[in-house]
Structure 1
Amino acid sequence: MLRRRSLIAAAAATLPLPALGQEGPYPSRPIRMIVNFPPGGTTDIAARIYAERLQARLGQPVPVENRGGATGNIGAEAVARATPDGYTVLSTAVSPAAINYALFGARMPYRPEDLAAVGLYLRVPNVIMVHPSQPIRTIQDLVAAAKARPGQLNYGSAGSGGSPHMSMEMFLLRTGTRMTHVPFRGAGPMLIEAVAGRLEASVDNIPSCIGHIRDGRLRALAVTGHVRSSVLPDVPTLAETVVPGFEATAWFGMQAPARTPRAAIERLGAEIDAISKERGTRLKLAELGADPPNLTPDGGTTPATFETFIKAEIEKWAEVVRASGATLE
């Protein structure tokens, strides 16, 4: 009798388990999307564009939950510690997904290996600006002024460690100039001071400041992408003016807890890729001044290409943080 039970148990152990548990085809219930920044910012806007389309394509609710704080680390840690079953995902940005590892160092509450890459949503260039009352009319003028008065000019950003801050530090590093960083608690407060003329320069994501530029309240000097922005076609890139090869963009995408079943990762990645190629999505991205993923030859994204992209971004920004001495003020 004991031998018979042992044989039955051994046979059962060799049977394949269902890929994602006993719930049936994935997904069979709502997928919670955590956004690691407050509502209204570019991370939140991008997340809601994709959440809406994912819900329609998957046939399951995709509720969005904002968990901001610590430059995106709080929400990212929550997902890194979540059950890896494919039903909790993270809509994230370049800071918590790449920059923060070097900036926070030992204080970082999670590691790159705690999160799995799913797909890149979009990329958004930053733009360097001055108040129209400034005599600085070109990016070359700003470089000359900064070299003439090392450390005496200031510039504002939406906060320490964000893409605008680190893009500016990368620009200063590569032009051999120094300016004083003035961090704010978000783009809104920073832009109020910039428009009032109380900052000598400022830097921000294009979606947040495009209205001020179009209305003439701020003068755009250069964008940080590798090509000119479609919404600011007359504004040159840093690469074509003062720093050949320069590229530093804010980017946004989806990650999931490590050890999430590969079938779920690939399914979500395929859906994000399909959504990024939809005409409606492309039009919404264009309105934001954003570029599509462009990680694959057809302009899309995959979990594998996004993972490679994140690794390269971690290395790039670690070097910028090290060389510039950037800190969390």
Structure 2
Amino acid sequence: MMTPLLSRCLRALSACAVAVALAFAPALGHAAGDFPNKPLRFVVPYPPGGPLDLMARVLAEKVGAEFGQTVVVENRAGAGGNIGAGVVAKSPADGYTLVMGAVATHAINPWLYASLPYDPIRDFSPITLVAAVPNVLVINREFADANGIATVGDLLAYGKSHPGRLNYASGGNGSAGHLAGELLRARGGLDAVHVPYQGAAPAQLALLSGQADIMFDNLAAAAPLIRDGKVKALAVTTLARSSLLKDVPTIDESGVKGFDLGTWFGVFAPGGTPLPVVERLNQAYVKALNLPDVRERLLIMGSDTRPGSADDFKAFVAGEMEKYREVVKLSGASIN
């Protein structure tokens, strides 16, 4: 039986709980309903001028117009994207600081680096996937012509008949190009030596000069070279063909089943950002990504627009993390 004293205590606690809820409700409603009421900061964890940076600036302009607020793009490069991502992970979870995360920062680096300044799941609230860009296996044109290599099958056969002869360039240990090369070695039997460079640009130059035989390059960077006939495209690395290279098969189609690696990037807020703010940001970025001129710019870059819900993006990132756990382990790459 409840005593009078216990009854009074319970009533008092209930009254306190209601008072606290009423006190915080206006603040929470204000934070969500008036968002945004000041400029936003959009961190790009890579140097200026790259495809990801250019896309961030296009979106900043469109989203800024939608919000009636300035969206300031800030480049915070270093450590494979970890520095910029770490800055945002430690920012207030109010939706005013965002990052253009990528496959490296949220799927590869967690398994590649001995330590990270952030947790890729706990420290971020996914907003939307922006785009997915296939990588493409390209070969030095003169080398291909001289050795009759026109397909992935031809390449694998050449490697087997010329052990130790082939080499493939990449932008460095643990880069997307390195991981793709190691996956093809493991699943397709590619006999090739990895030659890491200090970035994708010098690796591309090595391919063009004939110092390197093949390379897994980002489609956005490789497309002009393919179009001008400077390199030959053998296959794209995703399960679906690219709309920019409709005649180029996938590696999966070429006989190496289940080969599915690509570059992607998307918008993240700090972990714990209120759901109404996440939804507001998602609506604004999805609207911007569906604009015809934005879609056209992405297509020119070799990207397929992939906006969707925050929950869809969250599930996508989790799946990519699991995929790259295996791929990074397979490569043997690590960075202390």
Considering the TM-score relative to the shorter chain, is it more than 0.5? Answer: yes
Q: Is the 8 A contact 1:150 1:177 kept in 2?
A: no
Counting only pairs closer than 5 Å after superposition, residues 170-185 of structure 1 correspond to structure 2 as 170-185=183-198
Per-residue CA deviation, residues 24-82 of structure 1 (Å, 9 max, x unaligned), is 60000111000011112222122122112111111111110011111111100111011
Counting only pairs closer than 5 Å after superposition, residues 68-217 of structure 1 correspond to structure 2 as 68-104=77-113, 106-112=114-120, 113-134=122-143, 135=147, 136-150=149-163, 152-217=165-230
**Which residue does the alignment assign to 2:4?**
none
1:236 to 249, 262, 265: 249
CA distance in 1, matches of 2:151, 2:229: 15
SS at structure 1 position matched to 2:74: strand
Q: Is the 8 A contact 2:42 2:99 kept in 1?
A: yes
TM-score, L = length of structure 2: 0.88
- Which structure has the larger Rg over C-alpha atoms? 2
Q: Is the 8 A contact 1:95 1:161 kept in 2?
A: no
CA distance in 1, matches of 2:199, 2:108: 17
Q: Does 1:321 align with 2:328?
A: yes
2:41 to 21, 25, 32: 32
Unaligned regions of 5+ residues in structure 1, if any? 1-5, 294-299
Q: Is the 8 A contact 1:19 1:263 kept in 2?
A: no
CA distance in 2, matches of 1:259, 1:180: 44
Letter in 2 for 1:189: P
Q: Is the 8 A contact 2:179 2:331 kept in 1?
A: no
CA distance in 1, matches of 2:50, 2:163: 33
Pick the structure with more helix per residue.
2
Q: Is the 8 A contact 1:33 1:91 kept in 2?
A: yes
Q: Is the 8 A contact 2:32 2:276 kept in 1?
A: no
Letter in 2 for 1:108: L
Q: Does 1:49 align with 2:62?
A: no
Using the TM superposition, name which of 310-319 and 46-55 deviates more: 46-55
Q: Is the 8 A contact 1:170 1:324 kept in 2?
A: yes
Q: Is the 8 A contact 1:194 1:201 kept in 2?
A: yes
Deviation at 1:12? 4.0
Kindly tell me the number of residue pairs found equivalent between the two proteins: 317
Deviation at 1:21? 5.5
Deviation at 1:110? 1.4
Q: Is the 8 A contact 1:32 1:88 kept in 2?
A: yes
Deviation at 1:20? 6.3
CA distance in 1, matches of 2:169, 2:161: 20
CA distance in 2, matches of 1:36, 1:30: 19
CA distance in 2, matches of 1:273, 1:150: 49
SS at structure 2 position matched to 1:203: strand
Deviation at 1:306? 0.2
Q: Is the 8 A contact 1:187 1:208 kept in 2?
A: no
Deviation at 1:10? 6.9
Query: Over aligned residue pairs, what C-alpha RMSD do you find?
Result: 2.2
Q: Does 1:304 align with 2:317?
A: no
Deviation at 1:277? 2.0
CA distance in 2, matches of 1:199, 1:45: 29
Deviation at 1:18? 2.1
CA distance in 2, matches of 1:92, 1:315: 17
Unaligned regions of 5+ residues in structure 2, if any? 1-12
Counting only pairs closer than 5 Å after superposition, residues 261-272 of structure 1 correspond to structure 2 as 261-272=274-285
Deviation at 1:171? 2.4
CA distance in 2, matches of 1:96, 1:309: 14
**Which residue does the alignment assign to 1:3?**
none
Deviation at 1:17? 3.8
Letter in 2 for 1:302: S
Q: Is the 8 A contact 1:20 1:85 kept in 2?
A: no
Using the TM superposition, name which of 273-282 and 61-70 deviates more: 273-282
Per-residue CA deviation, residues 266-311 of structure 1 (Å, 9 max, x unaligned), is 1111222222222222211211111121xxxxxx411100000000
**Which residue does the alignment assign to 2:70?**
61
Per-residue CA deviation, residues 72-93 of structure 1 (Å, 9 max, x unaligned), is 1110011101111110000011
**Which residue does the alignment assign to 2:6?**
none
SS at structure 2 position matched to 1:13: helix
SS at structure 2 position matched to 1:71: helix
Using the TM superposition, name which of 125-134 and 37-46 deviates more: 37-46
Deviation at 1:196? 0.8
SS at structure 2 position matched to 1:14: helix
SS at structure 1 position matched to 2:185: helix
Distance verdict in 2 for CA 1:22–1:56, change over 3 Å: closer
